Structure 1
């Protein structure tokens, strides 16, 4: 848990630093720092849903281990 908390602080500081470097504004950098994790959370949820749908083989499409027609011929 300590490692996750420390990384969270690094992430926030990095986000703020990049925002400030790009805009030169403390207010905009702060807004970016607050908004970015919210947008990233929604994007991650959508990514997970897309991954489940397209990248992971579907159970109904998987070949049953008892399906003899799917076994290689000897």
Structure 2
């Protein structure tokens, strides 16, 4: 617990709200996932399981999305540089 307090203390300066934003987003995401799953199934257990599993899967998907996006950005930049060199 002291590690968490230290982490929160170190990241709670006036200009850096990223940790707080991450926590509030996680709570919001869990709440929305649980609510949708519960409304669709009517089962609290299934709603809870989906609310816990979905963000984990989403995190892995986001990791690969970022890799693909970075490759696309590199290719776009390289193509623009090649085009510029060919027109000079």
Check whether TM > 0.5: yes
State the match for 2:31 in structure 1: 13
CA RMSD of aligned residues (A): 2.2
- Report the number of matched residues: 68
1:29 corresponds to which residue? 47
Larger Rg: 1
Relative to structure 1, the CA distance from residue 60 to residue 6 in structure 2 (aligned partners, 3 Å threshold; closer, same or farther) is closer
Q: Give the C-alpha shift of residue 18 in structure 1.
A: 0.6
More helix by share: 2
Question: TM-score normalised to the size of structure 1?
Answer: 0.71
- Which residue matches 1:56? 73
Gapped regions of structure 1 (runs ≥ 5) = none
Q: Which runs of 5+ in 2 are unaligned?
A: 1-18
TM norm structure 2: 0.62
